[in-house]
Amino acid sequence: MNYQDYLSITPEIKQALENGTPIVALESTILSHGMPYPENLDFAHKVEEVVRGQGAIPATTAIIGGKLKVGLNADELEIMCRADNVAKASRRDVAVYLSTGQTAATTVATTMLIASLAGIRVFATGGIGGVHRGAQETMDISADLQEFAHTNVCVVSAGCKSILDIGLTLEYLETFGVPVLGYQTDQFPAFYCETSGYGVDYKVKDADEVARIMKTKWDLGLNGGILLGNPIPHEWSMDHSVIDKAIDKALEMAKEKGIRGKATTPFLLATIKDLTGGDSFASNIQLALNNAKVASLVVVAYSKIR
């Protein structure tokens, strides 16, 4: 048995892979652990519509029934959105959950892994994980960053989540040779906010330029991912002072409750949503949809030159 035996690819996506049709990978953690039901189901349909609207095929990933799912049918999407007994799977969990039959949503790291195994080169997410604040003491660093070090997938995101230490996250990526590109910006975005105060490695003008960088990097055997920072649309960008205040309060609450590990990010995002009166949730949806649009443009451009 090889890794192909663990992949379950929908007929539509299998045909797209054979024909070289552009495909965008999508994660499922944002559905199962980032949004409430039924808002998450509505978002799942919208994000797939955005991808199709740009001429690409959406491939939402998950772990169901001992298989790495590449594309979900309506029933499977419902399962992920209802999130009953749905775990959160990072790289370390994959073999265990496949072997035990545990249903699990895929993080950035696991989605990158599944996309790479299936032959998909572009993935749209909300924001990547990274180095948590206070990591000098806790060593809380997302496995997403290690995945970027060796998995050949371009990830389009609104930077990293604002709850993280953005400076240390960028330093970590630099150490492992991961190019951090800014889509039509020289500023690294900060999830809910257009800018973070940190720069990117390179500003790219359009999807065609991103596609050429992808091809050149992997043609040279320079293994590892590419992070494309795509700022949240201006009209949905939040004020830094408002979001920073909410983050500080949420971090304080997490510490008081003893929340750590993979439970940290879902708790913080839900708490910040409450503290901002739902404004952060609305921004989260819009930035994720915008990332799906840009990812689709990139993969369409890449499919033409590959």
Indicate which residues carry an active-site annotation. Answer: 27, 161
The C-alpha atoms of residue 131 and residue 129 are separated, in whole angstroms, by: 7
SS3 181: strand
Pairing between strand 57-64 and 67-70?
antiparallel
Radius of gyration of the chain (CA): 18
Q: Are 117 and 68 in contact (CB under 8 A)?
A: yes
Name the nearest CA neighbour of 220 among 295, 297, 156, 152: 152
The answer to whether 32 touches 88, Cβ cutoff 8 Å, is: yes
Contacts for 229 with CB less than 8 Å, ≥ 6 apart = 157, 158, 159, 180, 181, 182, 183, 185, 188, 189, 200
